[in-house]
Structure 1
Amino acid sequence: MRGGIWVLNIFAAIWFMVGAVGSGLPLPVLAVAAVISGALIGWGLRTTGAEPSRNPNVGRLVGIWSAVEGVAIFVAANVCMNIGAQDAVAPVIAIVVGLHFLPLARGIPLPLYYATGAALVVLGLAALLLPGAERVGVTGLGAAAILWASCVLLIRQAQAWRAG
């Protein structure tokens, strides 16, 4: 649970920074990512306790699917660049990241990750329909919002589990 909180927030902050830069927002806005992620990590660490592992192979499962995700991102980004669709890279990465959540949702098991994955895929597909100049900003800021919202829901699930 705690590992998920860290990972969601680190990647939310990265997506926010990508989106902010892609949107042409002033650089001091980048601090927002650190504030939000820091606050959520702090809340999560204070709120969540030791939770029994749902699957003893979670680390292996996450490692395998993260490796698959990394290779898929590398291939997809290179395809986009080679066909002259540089503005499609961020939305395509969001789609790959979203798809990567689906086997995690089943294997961990954490049904919340189905919604996270689906939301990222829909975001990526919707961003591909936008004019090229808007794709990076919308994808980055949208992905950050999805990951932060997932973190909030994950923390609330942990609170409910602890409350009994």
Structure 2
Amino acid sequence: MNLYDVAVKTISGEETTLAKYKGKVLLIVNTASQCGLTPQYKGLQELYERYQEQGLVVLGFPCNQFAGQEPGSEDEIAQFCDRNYGVTFPLFAKVDVNGPNTHPLYQRLKSEAPEGNGEDIEWNFGKFLVTKEGQVAKRIGPRVQPEEIAGDIEALLQA
């Protein structure tokens, strides 16, 4: 099984996989709407708009594991992201990124990351850059602003 085969659920409740993103550079982020880092949604949306035509897809996975900072329903999360940040990149149903109920996608991302291999996600807005071939290229900490990784994204898009 590869990254594209992992079952995920969209924010609207549709069961799917990441297969439709095969051949794209992915920026996978665990998000929250009541966090000091929540304004990163703006930067993530800007990256998506800037690089979408070249093959970048930002994927947001809400998570309520860090100080209960994502307490809303999926519908409330989607409305919040649209209303406050104009988010158009794909959002998914809430997931656990650590602990016994870690979503299989995050199990794979953490185990395949060259940095922090297997380590827990430290907070909201942890990021993983994934190559067009589905390999985890880089694990990026929560406090790194989206615009700071534009060069990494460009390098993967040109690879």
Give me the TM-score of the superposition, normalised by structure 2.
Answer: 0.33
In terms of Rg, which structure is larger? 1
Higher helix share: 1
Higher strand share: 2
Give me the TM-score of the superposition, normalised by structure 1.
Answer: 0.33
Which of structures 1 and 2 has the larger relative contact order (alpha carbons within 8 angstroms, sep 6+)? 1
